[in-house]
Amino acid sequence: MGAVRVLVKHSLTSPQDIAFNVISTAAFVVVLYFQRDATAPGSAVPLAMLTLPGILGLGVAFNGLIGVISMMAVEREDGTLLRVKAVPQGMLGCLVGRIALLMLQSSAGLAIMVVAGVVLVLLAWAVASLLIAPPILRRMARRESGPLMEARRHRALQRVV
């Protein structure tokens, strides 16, 4: 557990790790933001709602596959793996520590993207409700309901024909 703590502390203070996590998460949030008003072709589902699961899966796959491999390659080049081999169970501890670090980083990025996605979807619902509510409230204020609305609709349809 101590190795994981050291790796997390190093990752949280490393400018390269911070920049990568911030830029990649911000890029995905920007994509979701620009897709907030678009709908999927042939449906009324917001495109951001359909994109979010794909982005989450991409983040998990990228961190799981590329993250561990790239970290181990960097450690091999700078000699960390040679030093780790001298410690009993050092390679296993190093691998487990890196995997735990990537799980924490992935979880934080996924949480940020899910919150951003939910906020954007809720924002779309809020805008839609603000557009739909005034006409409904005006009709309610005029007490137009049931048979009165049906008679009005019927008169309007006869004018069109």
The pLDDT of residue 1 is above 70: no
Residue 83 lies in a domain: yes
Residue 134 lies in a domain: no
pLDDT bracket for residue 91 (50, 70, 90):
confident
Q: Taking all residues of the chain, what is their mean pLDDT, rounded to a whole number?
A: 80
Residue 157 lies in a domain: no
Q: Tell me the pLDDT tens digit for each residue of 123-151.
A: 777 777 888 888 878 777 776 667 777 88
CA dist 133 → 83, 106, 125, 140 (Å): 66, 40, 12, 10
Residue 148 lies in a domain: no
- Taking a C-beta distance cutoff of 8 angstroms, is the pair 146, 156 a contact? no
Strand partners, 97: none
Q: Tell me the pLDDT tens digit for each residue of 96-110.
A: 888 888 888 888 878
Q: How far apart are CA 146 and CA 153, in angstroms?
A: 11
Q: How far apart are CA 49 and CA 112, in angstroms?
A: 15
Q: How many domains does the chain have?
A: 1
